[in-house]
């Protein structure tokens, strides 16, 4: 074999080796070493970012699942309160005094609920129902006889009382109006319009103040957030005649303190202001 033949043979051998190394005879499948290194670096940059995105997605999914689990296991009382859409009352409303000197605003609104077919402010519904259940368990036949009264209804009640006093006691309208305000006040002068006041009675009882139901209320009403609104002996502070049937919701904390201090609502509000 001459020199040219040996050179041609070596060239053919190298081409054959290159084909086997690339897995194909096409030169396009060969990746230069520089390009391979650049691709690896690019993959090293993208991979951590991809891992972070996946972790964030997993965290969001986990938080949503936890929130769903937590909401499904809320305490029964909280769930019931949420279903009733009760707005918690602050002391400004709980200790609101309504009288001829401090009338309700003409645009005052009440979110009403029904308790034994009597309408009351939704904020007192739960405690009122609990008090009625407790009385029943102790064999006290407490009868809820009144609650919220609209401005129009209160005006009609007031006018009826004025007419009654004029007829029965031969009073002029001015005198009859002043006397009526002590028992059946004019519209916006009565706490019954607030939805926070309720009245109780006992079927067949001639005088509620002589009944066991009244005595039970005096002992227990404060445990449920209620006070006797117009107590006997407090006429000077309340401006109203003694009424054993009318109770007012002021919240459990306030009711307990008022009972301990033996104060009417007006006295208690003045007491709190003096301490500020």
- What CA–CA distance (Å, rounded) separates 18 from 135? 101
Instruction: Tell me the domain boundaries of the chain.
Output: 3-72, 88-149+190-275
Sheet holding 226-230, edge to edge: 143-146, 197-201, 243-249, 226-230
- What CA–CA distance (Å, rounded) separates 173 from 165? 9
Residue 28 has pLDDT above 50, yes or no: no
Phi, psi of 73 (to 5 degrees): -120, 30
In this structure, are residues 126 and 224 in contact, taking their beta carbons and an 8 Å threshold?
A: no
For the stretch 62-66, contacts whose Cβ atoms lie closer than 8 Å and that sit 24 or more positions apart, written own/partner, are none
Query: What Rg value do the Cα atoms of the chain yield, rounded?
Result: 41
Span 150-179, pLDDT tens digits: 999 999 999 999 999 999 999 999 999 999
Residue 195 has pLDDT above 90, yes or no: yes
Inter-axis angle of helices 252-261 and 265-275, nearest 10: 100
Span 64-97, pLDDT tens digits: 665 655 454 444 444 444 455 666 789 999 999 9
- Domain topology for 88-149+190-275: Muramoyl-pentapeptide Carboxypeptidase; domain 2 (3.30.1380)
Question: Distance between the two ends of the chain, CA-based, in angstroms?
Answer: 121
Percent of the chain whose predicted confidence (pLDDT) is above 70: 74
- What CA–CA distance (Å, rounded) separates 257 from 11? 110
- Say whether 238 sits in a helix, a strand or coil: helix
So what's the pLDDT on residue 25?
45
pTM, entire model: 0.68
């Amino acid at each position: 074999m001459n020199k040219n033949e040996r050179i041609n043979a070596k060239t053919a051998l190298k081409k054959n080796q290159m084909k086997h190394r690339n897995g194909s005879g096409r030169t396009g499948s060969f990746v230069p070493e520089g390009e391979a290194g650049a691709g690896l670096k690019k993959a090293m940059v993208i991979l951590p970012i991809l891992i972070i995105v996946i972790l964030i997605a997993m965290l969001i999914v986990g938080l949503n699942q936890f929130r769903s689990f937590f909401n499904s296991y809320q305490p029964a009382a909280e769930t019931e309160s949420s279903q009733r859409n009760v707005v918690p009352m602050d002391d400004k409303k709980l200790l609101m005094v309504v009288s001829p000197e401090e009338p309700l605003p003409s645009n005052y609104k009440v979110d009403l609920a029904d308790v034994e077919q009597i309408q009351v402010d939704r904020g007192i519904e739960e405690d009122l129902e609990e008090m009625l259940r407790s009385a029943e368990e102790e064999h006290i036949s407490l009868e809820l006889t009144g609650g919220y009264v609209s401005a129009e209804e209160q005006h009609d009640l007031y006018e009826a009382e004025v007419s009654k006093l004029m007829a029965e006691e031969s009073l002029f309208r001015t005198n009859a109006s002043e006397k009526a305000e002590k028992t059946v006040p004019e519209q916006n002068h009565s706490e019954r319009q607030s939805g926070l006041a309720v009245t109780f009675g006992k079927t067949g009882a001639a005088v509620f103040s002589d009944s066991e139901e009244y005595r039970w209320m005096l002992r227990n009403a404060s445990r449920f957030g209620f006070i006797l609104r117009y107590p006997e002996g407090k006429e000077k502070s309340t401006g109203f005649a003694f009424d054993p049937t009318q109770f007012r919701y002021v919240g459990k904390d306030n009711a307990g303190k008022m009972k301990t201090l033996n104060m009417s609502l007006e006295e208690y509000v003045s007491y709190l202001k003096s301490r500020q």
